[in-house]
Structure 1
Amino acid sequence: MTSPRRILVVVGTRPEAVKLAPVIRRLRKEPARFETLVCATAQHREMLDSVLSLFEIEPDVDLDLMRPDQAPNELASRAFAALDRILIERRPDWLLVQGDTTTAMCAAVAAFHRGVAVGHVEAGLRTGDLARPFPEEMNRRVVDLVADACFAPTRRAADALASEGVAAERIHRTGNTVVDALTEISRRDVDADTPEEDLVLVTAHRRESFGEPLERILSAVGRLARAFPKTRFVHLIHPNPNVRGRVEASEPAANVERIEPLDYRSFLRLLRRCRLVLSDSGGVQEEAPTFGKRVLVLREKTERPEGIEAGFARLVGTDEERIFDEASRILSGRSDLPAPTRSGNPYGDGRAAERIVSALAGIPYEPFEAAAPRVAVV
């Protein structure tokens, strides 16, 4: 009998844990085929632990790499050394990483150097601009360059990989695993039918939003809160000091509630209840369509245009006037964005992990195909 293949799954941040948890759980349902090991770098310590606990995943290895005020190069240097040691000790057949973090890039390159096959979950996302997002655009390109299996969430992502010369047999169109994760958590949640409230959810944390862009976002939120005094604005404050310092230095309006980051289950409850989302988060762009929520994307470019094409989102950047104008139109019922529905998530159908594990096992599967866009909005 053939020995099970050893799969080393490396996670560092909360989004990675959310999106890799369905894959880990699926792999562990097939112990005859796969021996699954989980390595945590703890790039986001508390937020990572919370998600792993929610999905009942205990890391086999915890590198605990993050330090206060750690620069990207310092983290990368320590990650390369620690991950190389784990590769030597554990001798995996495959290494799986997700997305575009420093953890993902370092793990993929370290595995490449050791001759270990690399699988990249959420491959093929592109803005075409190395500065937006920084350093994520570079990280994901590097991972895709060395990956033996590129698990592209959408047709657009798969086409991007093909246009860069990635061989067809390396590209697998799977859907995004975040839809698997939120579907599972929502299925468990007794509060899943909570009605929508007159509530706006605000998140902003990306590196390109630091400084003046974040100031403009905060100013726009303040103006919106004063213009719509009966609407509740809930702003989740990211722990990064570049974000927290700016937010705490400004005085919120009476109907703006600033809260600490939520565990994933509580976050999904808030997303389900809100009327509108203002966010620069990639994950929120993917999660919101499942609940029929509209998102104003607080970025100049996005690697997730599918939500815009499907009518769930609009790219507004960080210009104060545009944020205020677009949000005001939605809140006053004057927007040309279509009424939100739960007509299908353009990023996935809840079966991405199943397709990824089938691909790793060499079992044929039906590639993910999103429903036709409801409307094209620019």
Structure 2
Amino acid sequence: MKRIAVVYGTRPESIKLAPVIMELKKLPNIEVLVVVTAQHREMLDMMNRIFGITPDVDFDLMRERQSLEDLSSRALKRLSSLYEEVEPDVVMVQGDTTTAFISALAAFYKRIPVAHVEAGLRTNDKYSPFPEEINRRLISHLATFHFAPTAKAAENLAREGITENVWITGNTVVDALLWMTREKRAELDTAFSKFLPNFNCGSRVLLLTMHRRENWGEPMKKALKAIRQVVEKEDDLLMVYPVHPNPVVKKIAFEVLKGVPNIVLTDPLDYLTLIAVMSRSCAILTDSGGIQEEAPSFGVPVLVLRETTERPELIENGFGKLVGTDPVRITEELKKLLRGEFSPEGKGNPFGDGKASKRIVEALVSHFR
């Protein structure tokens, strides 16, 4: 019996690891230990409920206005003690969060192999995204097993000298999305109408998400003002902005956008409702990584509110454009999009086919044979 500790702390991690956890639990010779740090408490709990996952260990580390240093130090101590106690054969992490990096670091200190899901994403700008770019680079050099979502991600690893135990698997977010549309079809059909009961069927929906740390402050304020100026002039457009719970983000969002009749500011949406809104959107503006990967499944064009993206496949396959936070660029591209001058040219989702989790589990289990 091999024990795999799967560690995560945020909603994106839980979405992308849920299909892997479900695959692992099908195997009689694998014990799965689900460990959550609760870096994002409410958003994480919401996802665990949807996927039917009950954590075995919950550190509940979230504190109001916690710094990266505070979160990191507390997580490192708790995870180190846990690894000593349960002695996992492998620690699995996903992506580039502080939880993922500290989990991998604690495992490395205990000489426990690390399996990295979504390995190899790079912008090659250490401050964009911050701190995620450095987190994922460091995880790559701590990890033993590297599950790259695309060929480009694997090429990034090779350029850093990482060529052993690298598998190109596709991205597990596509697995999660397909699972939701298959297993939660009825709920998805009603989620949109429950969220927007008075929605005019003749209107268009624009989805906005913006929360990245490197966009906090003036960049976010300028971007939101530009978006507002375009949206408030479009009578047949309703913009939905699920506002991240971080106090810095909430303050700016409500300061700039509150009171505009065709802008809905809401708490973070549960994943069912988010997918329902996404699938009905005419376009998406986002600085989120996960949404860049999900939108192509619905054929929805994306304007990326960042100067760089570690997901170039979105741009190269004609599903999106980089606009950053420059008001002029945002205004120009958003107007083009709303006029129908930009629509996705790509065919199929370049990030996966829904079988990434099976490939990951098969590769990992083959190591134990």
TM-score normalised by the shorter chain: which range applies? Answer: over 0.9
Q: 1:7 aligns with which of 4, 8, 12?
A: 4
Give yes or no for contact 2:313–2:351 (8 Å, CA) kept in 1.
Answer: yes
Please name the residue that 2:318 is paired with: 311
Please name the residue that 2:220 is paired with: 214
Give yes or no for contact 1:126–1:303 (8 Å, CA) kept in 2.
Answer: yes
Please name the residue that 1:143 is paired with: 139
* Cα deviation, residue 338, structure 1: 3.9
Please name the residue that 2:362 is paired with: 358
Read off the aligned partner of 2:268 and give its amino acid letter: P
C-alpha change, 1:339 and 1:18, in structure 2 (3 Å) is closer
**SS, match of residue 74 in structure 2:** helix
Give yes or no for contact 1:299–1:317 (8 Å, CA) kept in 2.
Answer: yes
Distance 1:226 1:340 in 2: 28
* Cα deviation, residue 138, structure 1: 0.6
**SS, match of residue 235 in structure 1:** strand
TM-score (norm 1): 0.91
1:94 counterpart = 2:90: yes
Distance 1:362 1:338 in 2: 42
Residues 1-378 of structure 1 aligned to structure 2 (within 5 Å): 4-32=1-29, 34-167=30-163, 169-188=164-183, 189-190=185-186, 198-250=204-256, 251-333=258-340, 335=341, 337-339=342-344, 343-362=347-366
* Cα deviation, residue 277, structure 1: 0.2
* Cα deviation, residue 171, structure 1: 0.7
**SS, match of residue 249 in structure 1:** helix
Give yes or no for contact 1:222–1:252 (8 Å, CA) kept in 2.
Answer: no
Unaligned runs of 5+ in 2: 193-200
Distance 2:290 2:345 in 1: 18
Read off the aligned partner of 2:13 and give its amino acid letter: E
* Cα deviation, residue 192, structure 1: 5.5
Read off the aligned partner of 2:10 and give its amino acid letter: T
Distance 1:319 1:339 in 2: 22
Please name the residue that 1:372 is paired with: none
Read off the aligned partner of 2:241 and give its amino acid letter: H
Runs of 4+ displaced beyond 3 Å? 191-197, 337-341
C-alpha change, 1:49 and 1:154, in structure 2 (3 Å) is same
Give yes or no for contact 2:202–2:236 (8 Å, CA) kept in 1.
Answer: no
Give yes or no for contact 1:298–1:316 (8 Å, CA) kept in 2.
Answer: yes
**SS, match of residue 97 in structure 1:** strand
**How big is each residue's C-alpha offset from its partner over 1:71-92, in whole Å with a ceiling of 9 and x where there is no partner?**
0000000000000011001100
Please name the residue that 2:197 is paired with: none
**How big is each residue's C-alpha offset from its partner over 1:336-366, in whole Å with a ceiling of 9 and x where there is no partner?**
x34467x311011100000000001118xxx
Read off the aligned partner of 1:66 and give its amino acid letter: M
* Cα deviation, residue 157, structure 1: 0.1
Read off the aligned partner of 1:120 and give its amino acid letter: H
* Cα deviation, residue 8, structure 1: 0.2
Distance 1:144 1:131 in 2: 17
Distance 2:22 2:232 in 1: 46
Give yes or no for contact 1:119–1:149 (8 Å, CA) kept in 2.
Answer: yes
Distance 2:181 2:272 in 1: 8
Read off the aligned partner of 1:157 and give its amino acid letter: A
**SS, match of residue 227 in structure 1:** coil
**How big is each residue's C-alpha offset from its partner over 1:53-107, in whole Å with a ceiling of 9 and x where there is no partner?**
1110000000111111110000000000000011001100000000000100000
Please name the residue that 2:195 is paired with: none
Matched residue pairs, number? Answer: 355
C-alpha change, 1:276 and 1:196, in structure 2 (3 Å) is farther
Structure with the largest fraction of helix: 2
Give yes or no for contact 2:207–2:283 (8 Å, CA) kept in 1.
Answer: yes
Unaligned runs of 5+ in 1: 364-378
**How big is each residue's C-alpha offset from its partner over 1:282-305, in whole Å with a ceiling of 9 and x where there is no partner?**
000000000111000000111001
Read off the aligned partner of 1:184 and give its amino acid letter: W
Read off the aligned partner of 2:295 and give its amino acid letter: A
* Cα deviation, residue 227, structure 1: 2.6
C-alpha change, 1:80 and 1:191, in structure 2 (3 Å) is closer
Give yes or no for contact 1:197–1:274 (8 Å, CA) kept in 2.
Answer: no
Give yes or no for contact 1:18–1:178 (8 Å, CA) kept in 2.
Answer: yes
TM-score (norm 2): 0.93
* Cα deviation, residue 226, structure 1: 2.4
C-alpha change, 1:184 and 1:52, in structure 2 (3 Å) is same
Distance 1:40 1:329 in 2: 42
